[in-house]
Structure 1
Amino acid sequence: MTPTVDLCTFYSLEPARQALLGVYADVRADLLHLPNYAVSGFAERLERHSEEPGWVAVLAYEQGAPIGYAYANTIASEDRWWKRVTPAPSAEYTDRQALALKEIGVRTPWRGTGLARRIHDALLADRTEPYVSLMVNPLAGSGKVHHLYETWGYEDIGQSQPSPASPVLTVMARSIR
């Protein structure tokens, strides 16, 4: 019998912090030597993001062990998320609140199983924002990650470099419904 994967939603960081840090470190293991991907940098971003409006995280567990995650928060029209996108995104996305999918990751043994999509869809299930946006390194997985998001309905709307240590990322968006 295949073990069951349980999805748990969190609206505050504290009960999810250690699981998020652990899965992140495993998912990004080959990149942790780069400043933008260091666990300490992720922990700082996670702390900051968790204090922003509408923060939510979904963690996937198999037999009690965390195996995947995603988290997001609400962004307003004047949020720095939008201000760093070039070219400036259309008012279709920025004239009202949207959801920013900040991170999503699945441990290697569960990749290609549809788990990332299940986590993603659970994260969006109860959201009221009309759009969700994410940023992806176009080189991740030799372009496979970007393509995966396209199959989920995301479209490229610009580029962003959130910090000097970050690569230039492709900004994507789609309707939540």
Structure 2
Amino acid sequence: MLNSILTLIVDSIAGVLGGVLLLRFWMQVVRVRPPMALGQFIFQLTDWLVRPLRRVLPGVGGYDWASLIGACLIIVLAVAIDLLLFSRLSPQFLVLLSLLRFVEWVFYGFMGLIIIEAIFSWVNPHAPLAPFIGALNEPLLRPLRRVIPLAGSIDLSPLVALVLLRIGLMLVTTMLGSLA
């Protein structure tokens, strides 16, 4: 029981911190600025890890590699703690589970952004965060929008993207599960 509670706490903290680090990296990939309050939250939550990592890993190609590596470090640390709690720490198991968790975070992060954009489009398309979320989703949805026509005035590309992301997650989970 106590191990399950500790795992929940570790996974929750790591999920939030790792998700924000991945969001910070993705914002630079897409070249979008967050609204002021959100940007302050993101940078204050992650600067303690990103700034020291930047001394070792400078940005190359305009990308914030320190944020991406920081997310990977958080994942490895969380998985190591989880494995220590259940007394199954082996190096290959740690690498496989960390890789799986990283892929899960990326896929779930994209799914969450698409769902948030869909909610904004239904509830308040002129919300202050709507353009920011739309810009984050554009690289994922643009190729699908070229192929999938509008159904009346409804864009089905977010639904197709969600299904494809879920299929990708299932494939990766199955592949890594078979390796473990």
TM over 0.5: no
**Normalising to structure 1: TM-score of the pair?**
0.28
The structure number with the bigger radius of gyration is: 2
Which structure is richer in relative contact order (CA contacts within 8 A, separation 6 or more)?
2
Report which of the two has the higher share of strand.
1
